[in-house]
């Protein structure tokens, strides 16, 4: 089974929507809050380019989706 990671923030409603969609699809994933987890923010910075947008969905180390249905929240890369 692929390793699926969701990078987001607690304050971004689109992160919540993507999480709910993944749960509804029965997908197993690991979620990281890049506002409270500095190591996760660093990984996100290496995976994507500015402006850093969440939600960011990563499968087996490759970004497969940025944002949710064309919408997302921009977060600081710091």
Q: What are the tens digits of pLDDT across the range 53-62?
A: 999 999 999 9
- In this model, does residue 1 exceed pLDDT 70? no
pLDDT at 64: 97
Please state, in angstroms and as integers, the Cα–Cα distance from residue 2 to each residue in 5, 7, 40, 59, 62, following that order: 10, 16, 19, 6, 11
Please give the pLDDT value at position 76.
Answer: 83
| Mean pLDDT, residues 19-35 taken together | 97
**pLDDT category of residue 78 using cuts at 50, 70 and 90:** confident
């Amino acid at each position: 089974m692929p390793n699926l990671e969701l990078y987001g923030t607690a304050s971004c409603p689109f992160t919540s929507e993507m999480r709910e969609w993944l749960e509804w699809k029965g997908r197993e994933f690991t979620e990281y809050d890049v506002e409270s987890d500095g190591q996760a923010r660093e990984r996100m910075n290496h995976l994507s380019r500015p402006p850093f947008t969440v939600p960011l969905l990563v499968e087996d180390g490759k970004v497969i989706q940025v944002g949710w249905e064309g919408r997302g929240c921009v977060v600081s890369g710091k």
